[in-house]
Structure 1
Amino acid sequence: MKTKALHDFLREHADSMTAEWLHSRTYEPNSVYSSDTPDHMTKELKEQNKLFIMTLVNLLEDPLNDRLSSWAQEIATERALSETPLYRTIHQFTRFRFIFWEYVEKYISIHKDGITSADILYWSKSIHSAFDHAIELFTRYYYQVSDARIEAQKTIIYKLTTPIIPISDEIGILPIVGDIDTHRAQLISETAIKKAEELKLNYIVVDISGVLLIDTMVAGQLFKMIQMLKLLGIDVTITGIRPEIAQTATQLGIDFGNLATFGQLKHALRYLFRDQSN
């Protein structure tokens, strides 16, 4: 009964707790939590915090009624998409935890004659555990959204930085520059095949002079791309194979024997244009 009475007290004071939290804000440039945020944003923060209180108290009342996950996912998604630094939201959790516990202390002060130290210890453990649970969930979802955004941005960058450059109606160049992981190698393959078909190319020169290292997975993906281009009737030439990459390819069991290879791009182009003129 004492615990239920505490929960009812906390629900009844949700508005007051939220108001204190909003009032305690300070000026933070370009932050959703700044004291100078527009009224509509302050209203949104108010509703989000009140929902947090109700969800938190429901969890304290019934551990099986855990709806913190959906709340944390929604807020984490908003904060990640708005690029709010994680530390700022964690700081707000810390500030509000202090306010929340102050209201628990107010309840204890009002009903001190009927409350034991065991009650206080139990409330302390359960409340702090619930806050920790909320922070953990928020952090997990925040990183999921952030990672997804980073991967999406990487995909766009990779597509922009690995174009096929047509230099004639029949010949295109695919320059590959920088580090290549398996994900990027797959994107290069998909983009190259699609673009080669669109341009109706007969020859593609894959220039890897700007690639530093090639591991087994990346090499396999690139050579799979080459085979698919050949199946489409496109002749593939490779240029820029440095000695260390050639040595690595040999160690990996990759056979360059069936491919036209040149040390420099200009040599490959000279060969292809001469071949076309004959």
Structure 2
Amino acid sequence: MKDLNGKVVWITGASSGIGEELAYAFAREGAFPVLSSRDAQKLEVVKKKCLEYTSKCWVQPVDLSKIEGFPKLVDAVVKEAGRIDLLVNNAGRSQRSWAKETPIEIDRAIMELNFFSVISLSKLVLAQMLKTGGGHLVVVSSITGKFGFPMRTAYSASKHALQGFFEALRAELVGDGVDVTIVSPGRINTNVSKNAMTETGQAYNKMDAGQANGMPADQCAAQIVKAIRKNKKEILVGRKELMMVHIRRFFPALFFKMVTKIKN
């Protein structure tokens, strides 16, 4: 079991949802959370609550679409915290649009944010971890990284890409002291559907019924932290919707029938 007390944990997408709850969960473990997202004001609110549980917490706002600024960003975090023990790649954006109605520019935007920004930041942090003797990379994927799902073509593709990249990276890092955990959540009660990108690039602004009835984000965060402490290579987090992963694997014909009937 890993001891997270005093560990520097950098969390992207930390201003709401799973990322916010992860910040509190790590703070309760005595970690030093570094909080990032585009919303500096919300991050300050999260920081204030984190400091009820731990002695150190720092806010580093970031726009993950601006990859060119990542080297300076990583340097700033290392200068402030001294090192990065864990990077939790949680930020990303979902999708609610039909492929036939979605211009390629939207597909590219989703891939840039959900995939290229994640691996760009991870490579820079990995270099720091190798210098300081090790660390732990965590990526929050999705069960749609395991199978395709209507109205999420580019989103599903981005999560499939994350799965492949971090599985391969894990194999490359054996013996280097850097662990990799892939998290695949199902329906979690957050604003992910409201913030999802449509074919126009605007927010969907609707709460999916499945999302509204999903696992509470704090329960999701608790399971993720537990998996990190146990150094799990991969975990599924959610409720009955996780069965779709197993149905896809063992009963593909049934899956192909079911997936077209699932409502958002």
Structure with higher RCO (Cα < 8 A, 6+ apart): 2
Alignment TM-score > 0.5, same fold: no
User: Which is richer in helix?
Assistant: 1
Structure showing greater Rg: 1
Give the structure-2-normalised TM-score: 0.31
